[in-house]
Structure 1
Amino acid sequence: MSDTKALSDFLDLGWQRLSRGVADKRAAARHPTFATVSPDGYPEARTVVLRGADRVAGTAEVHTDGGSDKVRSLAVHPFAQLHIWDVKPKLQIRLSTSVDIRSGEDVRHKWSRVPDGSRIAYGASPTPGTPIPRADAYTKLATEDWFTVLTCKIDQIELMQLVDPHRRAVFKASDNWAGEWRVP
């Protein structure tokens, strides 16, 4: 197998696992770690639900509450990294992205597809992260007003697979995803 073919197959594996994360609630890629930088410059990481992965557009999509810390952080530093550990293929996926924050009329068509039971995740009073006197001193609003879509334009995909021998590659949008092998 040529090196170019091996790189292409490796990238295919990464996209296959991402697509599976969107379609299968049990897939590892369903719940990536989403890392940002706070307005103060501190790293932040949290688990999100992967709602979209579009290879042609080079994007990943997550939904969030518009009042969340991640939205405030992204307003200052509009970059994020998504990290996935997929145990079955022993594959680490890291997506370095620039993030577009959309809400309101721009995402109304997506809100209409959010199941009633999941709508509780959008909107809280007071807003997420606000100090409260008791664990239950808040109200969930389940409102479209706070529904926010984060479209993550993928600038770089890094794959590392812990097979024998280990292999690692980096693929960049700027070079049309040609990829290059890296030392694991």
Structure 2
Amino acid sequence: MSDWYTELDSTLDQVWQLLGRAIRDPKSPLRTPVMATVGVDGAPDARVVVLRSATRSAGALEVYTDRRSKKVKDLESCPSVTICAWLPKADLQVRIKSLGTIASGSEVLPLWQSMSETARRVYGGVPAPGMLLAHPSAFGIRPDPADLAVLRFAISEIETLHLGREMHRRARFQRDNAWAGAWCAP
């Protein structure tokens, strides 16, 4: 059997296996990828997020956040998002291009109700994310279901770069109704 990175189908299969594992494994580098957006001011912005769901059949990813965060404002202004992660054990970079949507309010209330008290503490602090504080102790934890947002990403493209000892391999997969892949110069 050949290595996964030598064939397009097995490369795409490997990415989805790694995404699925990342949902369950907090130590997976894909669990905390970098999400890049374009800000309201037109400037690029990037931050680490926690991947919560990956569904191959839908070509979708999900991230949870406070609805008052800058990333929500960025998505409202420009829904184009790139998610990127480096997996050192696999010598693999994964870049995912997508369009993001925001779910909040009654749409995410069942999720809120299923969360532990510890998880709920992240959503609804006072003041809102990014606001200046006189001191870290000035931040108040006030869990509020109205401040939970789920960012859903409809994937349009996955690009991989495998850094092999003898040869680097780069592949691009685009999704319309099905995935279509092609090799690219690394």
Post-superposition CA distance 1:123-162 (Å, at most 9, x none) = 1212111122223222122221101000100010001111
Q: What CA distance in whole angstroms lies between the structure 2 residues aligned with 1:171 and 1:87?
A: 21
Map residues 1-184 of structure 1 onto 2, 5 A cutoff: 6-163=7-164, 164-174=166-176, 176-184=178-186
Return structure 1 stretches of 4+ with deviation > 3 angstroms: none
Question: Percent identity at matched positions?
Answer: 38
* Structure 1 position 102, deviation (Å): 0.4
TM-score (ref. length: structure 2) = 0.92
* Structure 1 position 62, deviation (Å): 0.3
TM-score (ref. length: structure 1) = 0.93
Q: Equivalent residue of 2:173, what SS? A: strand
Which has the higher mean CA deviation after the structures are superposed, 132-141 or 144-153? 132-141
Q: What CA distance in whole angstroms lies between the structure 2 residues aligned with 1:113 and 1:155?
A: 30
Which has the higher mean CA deviation after the structures are superposed, 124-133 or 148-157? 124-133
> For residue 123 of structure 1, what is the amino acid of its counterpart?
G
* Structure 1 position 166, deviation (Å): 0.8
> For residue 150 of structure 1, what is the amino acid of its counterpart?
L
> For residue 168 of structure 1, what is the amino acid of its counterpart?
R
Which has the higher mean CA deviation after the structures are superposed, 32-41 or 111-120? 111-120
> For residue 68 of structure 1, what is the amino acid of its counterpart?
S
Which has the higher mean CA deviation after the structures are superposed, 108-117 or 54-63? 108-117
* Structure 1 position 119, deviation (Å): 1.3
Which has the higher mean CA deviation after the structures are superposed, 131-140 or 149-158? 131-140
Number of residue pairs matched by the alignment? 181
- Aligned residues: CA RMSD: 1.4
Q: Equivalent residue of 1:9, what SS? A: helix
